[in-house]
Structure 1
Amino acid sequence: MTTTLITGGNKGLGRETARRLVALGHTVYIGARDETRGRAAADQTGAHLLVMDVTEDASVAAAAALLAEHETQLDLLINNAGVFDAMVKAEDATAEDMRAVYDVNVFGVVRATHAFLPLLQASSDPAIINVASGLGSFGIVTDPGRFEAQWALPVYASSKAAVGMLTVQYAKALPGIRINAADPGPTATDFTNNQAAQSIAEGTEAIIGLATAGPGAPTGTYMDRFGEIPW
């Protein structure tokens, strides 16, 4: 049975991913900083709760230690926790705006990867999925035919571009672990005020595809629900 941890798993894409993976037979842990919301999501999806705040080193380390008390290994880490920047304009963006978003979207990935790496390395088939965004793809945001190209979002987009580079670098440095990035696409969640045309189930397709790829699948790729996309 595959043991999976999803950070930011108490709502949106994280909760739907948890629900789908539980249905596929995974033992799923939801990482959530709010215990009440996390407990409700865990109960709704059939997952287990792991209270953790990806912006705090001590919180993530404590969560990893707690998981190690219950599981001998972690097969799949899905770095899903993320925040949006309320579409801060380039002329208004400050270093503090950057710091707040990067602390979750980028440093949170590093904290979780570092803390759970020993449990991942204990697995016979470990994998990491970093939830990125088409807004962080240089190829997509410079393509005038793409929806994402119409936005100038230096804070959020650059944070997701950093997630892409982390994915590539971790994949090179840790060849024993499949490490890939997933672009959910514009999905109807809190991030989009539920306005995007794509359903939340469709938004999890890339994540589920990578989560169920199995031994021998590629590492260091960037996927949406239709296939590989440009960095």
Structure 2
Amino acid sequence: MSDTTNETTNGTAVGPDRKVALVTGANKGIGYEIAAGLGALGWAVGVGARDEARREAAVEKLRAAGVDAFGVPLDVTDDASVAGAARVVEERAGRLDVLVNNAGITGGGPQDPTTVDVDRVRAAVETNVIGVIRVTNALLPLLRRSASPRIVNVSSSVGSLTLQTKPGAQVGPVAVAYSPSKTFLNAVTVQYAKELAGTGVLINAVCPGYVATDLNAFQGVRTPEQGAIAAIRLSTIPDDGPHGRFFDEDGEVPW
């Protein structure tokens, strides 16, 4: 369910010359570093997160670093919460220049397809796919008010069917909930790209790499700062930049 706190409404309105971003799941890990990176560029950044205490702590930390950050109560699996998040952004900025759909879950384990608890699959899809659709559609009216709107969906190379089926490739463990949810997200990104072609709204997917976060018990080999690089880059592409494609820090990733 959605919640409200004073910090979501405190602060001055964002001026017309400052870019505005909303990052979901931005209270920690990769999402936080994406917010910090965009903030360092002088952007106003909405910290989307469902946990009130962690959201407030992230906003305070960003503000202490000089970022114009504001909290956005947001549970991507809840219609009312997402609608409330759109209202917070509209009240604070009146528009949105970049939406980074970063919030995600693994679905828990084990995830062997022959024995999996189907509720794990359902939960992964609800957050990683349906949540992205829910948030994107709610924020699109604000994105359309931007001169250069961008949408970045944080995916993973484990969602690449090309890589998953390449002989000898090592692309994550067997995971019938998480990996296919990212494949689904990639397919959804392509469908949005087809519908939004020619509208000025550029949408792309990004793989942050194997980042040490609580999703993998901090076993990843990359830092959250490194994981944020590609998403920040895609948030700031020019009007003739890529659309409907999949990237990591090193370049394009095959679907």
State the TM-score, normalized to the length of structure 1: 0.96
Structure 1: which amino acid aligns with 2:252? E
Distance of 2:169 and 2:47 partners within structure 1? 33
Secondary structure in structure 1 of the residue aligned to 2:59: helix
Distance of 2:83 and 2:224 partners within structure 1? 30
Structure 2: which amino acid aligns with 1:217? G
Instruction: State the percentage of identical aligned residues.
Output: 42
Structure 1 residues 187, 144: CA separation in 2 closer, same or farther (over 3 Å shift)? Answer: farther
Match of residue 221, structure 2, among 197, 202, 210: 197
Paired residues for 1:156-195 under 5 Å: 156-175=178-197, 176=199, 177-195=201-219
Distance of 1:44 and 1:82 partners within structure 2? 22
Whether contact under 8 Å (2:108, 2:120) holds in the other structure is no
Cα deviation 1:7-27 (Å, max 9, x = unaligned): 111011000111111111111
Q: 1:194: how far off?
A: 1.3
1:129 aligns with 152
Cα deviation 1:135-160 (Å, max 9, x = unaligned): 10111222345431x52111101100
Distance of 1:24 and 1:40 partners within structure 2? 21
Structure 1 residues 195, 95: CA separation in 2 closer, same or farther (over 3 Å shift)? Answer: closer
Distance of 1:144 and 1:193 partners within structure 2? 28
1:36 aligns with 53
Structure 2 unpaired stretches of 5+: 1-17, 64-68
1:207 aligns with 231
Paired residues for 1:1-231 under 5 Å: 1-46=18-63, 47-87=69-109, 88-148=111-171, 151-175=173-197, 176=199, 177-231=201-255
Secondary structure in structure 1 of the residue aligned to 2:184: helix
State the TM-score, normalized to the length of structure 2: 0.87
Which runs of 4 or more aligned residues in structure 1 lie more than 6 Å from their structure 2 counterparts after TM superposition? none
Secondary structure in structure 2 of the residue aligned to 1:147: coil
User: Which one is further off, 79-88 or 164-173?
Assistant: 79-88
Secondary structure in structure 2 of the residue aligned to 1:154: coil
Structure 1 unpaired stretches of 5+: none
Secondary structure in structure 1 of the residue aligned to 2:152: strand
